[in-house]
Chain A
Amino acid sequence: MLSRRSLLSAAGVTGVGLTAAACGSSGGGSSSDGPVDLAAEATELSGEITLLTPDFTGDARQGLDDMIKQFTDQHEGLKVKVDQVAWDKLNEKLSTSIAGGLVADVIMTGVGWTPPFAHKKIFAELPTDYVDGLGLDEALLTSCRYEDKYYSLPIGMDLRFVVYNKDMFEAKGITEAPATMEELAQISEELTGDGVVGFDLLTKNIRQGWIHMLYAFGGTLFTEDGLAPAMQEEPGRLATQWILDRMDEGAIDYNLQAAEGQPTPFMQGTAAMQLVSTADWESWKDMAPQLTEEGAVGMFLLPGGNGNDPVMFQGGTMVSVGQRSQNTDAAAALVKHLMTPEMLAAGNAATGKVPPTADIPDTPEITDNFLTAFALEHLDKAGAAEGGSAAWMEIRGNLQPIIEACLTRQADVDKTLADMEKLATDAISRL
């Protein structure tokens, strides 16, 4: 006789539209505790594994296929099936596949996704000695941990800093990039006018722009254990107020956000500075090739506020082994293959992302991209990252409207910070 629990489980699976679950897939896989085994011999591995990735779209797919071919050439008994999904559908894809018990063996996600999926036991633990041996910067590894264990690795980064129009700087007699938030505020105001805004902070992503500022003022989103929010504390107040003050001066224009696929104000010459992403290189090449010429733009890290150090925002792609994989050894072997210097170079040359280390073979696509080169020089400053709590995936979608309400003057700073705290506290309490 069916129990209420089993009935509810069945209803849940059906509810997300996955009949696959009803076909008998257990979704169990490797449920053993402890890190995955990376020592399996190539000859011992066989079967088929699935790689879920939001990257390697369009022409970049060939790069991934080449990398996989090298892997399967070394592991003749293995096949790798690639499941590609757009970034904005990745969360849905993962949640529905979890419900259906069809989670991929190797999963690529974003920065901030590791604690939530490690907490849900979707990602398998990775051996500490292996991760330490990769020699990656601590700033990047922080995003890979949950409860002091590694569950993912940075495979291709999307890093953010400030670019400026050199001609506009020269026209105003500005010879040096700002080193403090006060100087950035002053320069932003000086550069504003004649149809130009001084600083385009929000065009990439309002939430991430705010988080970058939060870290610049020395804040964090959560306490170190991820069990309480910290975004509402003094650095959060200072960051929010700094943005509002610049908006009052006209140096930041909330309404000047570029729509997807359209040139940003900086590319159009209507913003003197922009919080840029290394991923912008491709759109620069397509829509504003003059910006990709050597020396066309200047770059600097977002200065620290309130006496803190400058900081770079860390986005990008992380790779993990699925805890529910039926073939974790093979999945771990693929992750290990993708993390070799040769594959990091090939993969990031294909995607246009920044490799997590500079210790890779010379690749023109990477060395000729001066946004990437600048980011690689400052990897140790990539400390501003989303996430830090197992509840992050529940929080992030609702954080943006709270920030928007503040920046559109529908809520003051006190209410904004209180709303953030409540949102995060409620989500954490449901863990």
Chain B
Amino acid sequence: MSTTTAPRTAGAQAPAVTRRRSGPRAAEARWGMLLAAPATIHTLLWIGIPIIVALVLSFTAYDVVSAPRFNAGDNYAQIFQDTIFWKAVVNNVIIAGVGIPISMFLALVFAVMLNRAIPGRGIFRVMVFLPHITATVAVAMIWLWIYSPSSSGLMNTVLGVIGIGPLPYLTSPSLALPSVILVTIWQGIGLKMLIYLAALQGVNEELYEAADIDGANFVQKFHRITVPMLKPATFFILVTSLIANFQTFDLIYILTEGGPANATNVVTYRIYQTAFQEFRFGLASAQSIILLLMLIVLTFFSRRIVGGTDAD
């Protein structure tokens, strides 16, 4: 008897399993996993593993030549005594604190202006977006010429006409950071404008029509409709800008090399110096982990400040 019932039992269960796996939801799930697989594998390989490796290395003394030596939390203790690292953090915060709000505001203004049917709108959009797609190395080289302290420098030539200067934009400790911030603003407006422009085109026109009927003026409509409707875009721009700001490297590398006297040093450049100039890869890994934690905290606070996304 048992020899006959056992197959029946198995046979009775099999259709149920098959039904669960072959339903439209299961197929959808399989397709979902399949489609997500490339991104998941990419993330695990190129982000997940390096983060884990960096975390492991951050507890070692490692100079590339000899094998890493476990040194507990020495690297983290050193970071807290590294005045240059914290100066770099402060510089990043200043660049973000000044540069991001200004560039977001200007991007919004440009987006609102270029969302209207004005002549040459396409050309203006391209002009505003162009700095974003230009290689940062090229951008930095152009600004090196603009900021040149000699008479051939564009900025000094222009300001010289109204009797200002010449000013040492990149060699003065007090002017170097503002000069770098100006470049980040100029370069950052394009992408932000594009995102705002896309978001503006998703705002329901009926809201503005209803406001018109209620007699709202332009400022009221902008304040009460446009800005709230752009909140998800603003959150996205803020978070991506913060992350991009803390990843700024090439601009500093070419424009100032962190100088003068670390006046424009930023966290990524400091990590580069630690790793590739001092050969202290363990310490550099610890600095990278600190940077990661700072970005997580900043993203969390950004969410709180802006008020979340559509999902909320």
Taking the closest CB of chain A, its distance from the CB of B147, in whole angstroms, is 8
Residues of A within 8 A of B262 (CB): 401, 405
Does A26 make an interface contact (CB < 8 A)?
no
Cβ A12 vs Cβ B60 within 8 A: yes
Cβ A9 vs Cβ B68 within 8 A: yes
CA distance A12 to B57 in the complex (A): 7
Does A121 make an interface contact (CB < 8 A)?
yes
Residues of B within 8 A of A260 (CB): 144
Cβ B49 vs Cβ A14 within 8 A: yes
CA distance A95 to B149 in the complex (A): 35
CA distance A259 to B254 in the complex (A): 10
Does A410 make an interface contact (CB < 8 A)?
yes
CA distance A397 to B49 in the complex (A): 30
Name the segment of A181-189, A250-258, A325-333 touching the other chain: A250-258
Residues of A within 8 A of B6 (CB): none
Residues of B within 8 A of A255 (CB): 149, 168, 171-172
Task: Name B128-163 residues within 8 Å CB distance of A.
Answer: 141, 144-145, 147-152
Proximity bits, A116-153, B CB within 8 Å = 1, else 0: 00001110000000000000000000000000000000
Size bin of chain B's contact surface:
35 or more
Residues of A within 8 A of B172 (CB): 255, 408
Q: A265-B150, A404-B260, A408-B260 are in contact. Are A11 and B68 (CB under 8 A)?
A: yes
Cβ B149 vs Cβ A256 within 8 A: yes
Cβ B276 vs Cβ A91 within 8 A: yes
Does A393 make an interface contact (CB < 8 A)?
yes
Residues of A within 8 A of B84 (CB): 398, 401
Does B258 make an interface contact (CB < 8 A)?
yes
Does A172 make an interface contact (CB < 8 A)?
no
Residues of B within 8 A of A393 (CB): 277-279
Q: A5-B67, A408-B173, A408-B261 are in contact. Are A15 and B279 (CB under 8 A)?
A: no
Cβ A122 vs Cβ B65 within 8 A: yes
From B57, B70, B261, B273, give the contact of A404 (CB < 8 A): B261
Q: A120-B65, A255-B168 are in contact. Are A262 and B56 (CB under 8 A)?
A: no
Task: Name B258-294 residues within 8 Å CB distance of A.
Answer: 258-262, 265, 273, 275-281, 285
Proximity bits, A244-281, B CB within 8 Å = 1, else 0: 00000000001111111111010010100000000000
Taking the closest CB of chain B, its distance from the CB of A423, in whole angstroms, is 10
Residues of B within 8 A of A262 (CB): 144-145, 148, 150, 152
From A254, A397, A405, give the contact of B273 (CB < 8 A): A397
CA distance A8 to B68 in the complex (A): 6
Cβ A257 vs Cβ B67 within 8 A: no
Does A400 make an interface contact (CB < 8 A)?
yes
Residue of A nearest to B167 (CB): A255
Cβ B276 vs Cβ A92 within 8 A: yes
Taking the closest CB of chain B, its distance from the CB of A71, in whole angstroms, is 29
Residues of B within 8 A of A166 (CB): none
CA distance A259 to B153 in the complex (A): 10
Residue of B nearest to A406 (CB): B261
Q: A258-B150, A262-B152 are in contact. Are A394 and B277 (CB under 8 A)?
A: yes
On chain A, the number of residues with a Cβ less than 8 Å from chain B's Cβ atoms is: 48
Residues of A within 8 A of B97 (CB): none
Cβ B277 vs Cβ A8 within 8 A: no
Cβ B278 vs Cβ A394 within 8 A: yes
Residues of B within 8 A of A9 (CB): 67-68
Does A379 make an interface contact (CB < 8 A)?
no
Residues of A within 8 A of B277 (CB): 91, 393-394, 396-398
From B64, B84, B265, residue with most partner A Cβ within 10 Å? B64
Residue of B nearest to A411 (CB): B261
Does A106 make an interface contact (CB < 8 A)?
no
Taking the closest CB of chain B, its distance from the CB of A364, in whole angstroms, is 32
Cβ A12 vs Cβ B281 within 8 A: yes
Residues of A within 8 A of B279 (CB): 95, 393-394
Does B1 make an interface contact (CB < 8 A)?
no
Cβ B278 vs Cβ A397 within 8 A: yes
Cβ B260 vs Cβ A12 within 8 A: no
Residue of B nearest to A397 (CB): B277
Does B50 make an interface contact (CB < 8 A)?
yes
Residue of A nearest to B176 (CB): A408
Cβ B70 vs Cβ A8 within 8 A: yes
CA distance A402 to B49 in the complex (A): 37
From A122, A270, A405, A411, residue with most partner B Cβ within 10 Å? A405
Does B53 make an interface contact (CB < 8 A)?
yes
Q: A15-B285, A122-B65, A394-B279 are in contact. Are A401 and B258 (CB under 8 A)?
A: yes
Cβ A401 vs Cβ B259 within 8 A: yes
Leading 3 A-B pairs by shortest Cβ distance = A255-B168, A397-B277, A405-B261
12 contacts between A and B (CB under 8 A): A8-B56, A8-B68, A12-B62, A95-B275, A95-B276, A257-B171, A263-B150, A396-B277, A397-B277, A401-B84, A401-B262, A408-B261
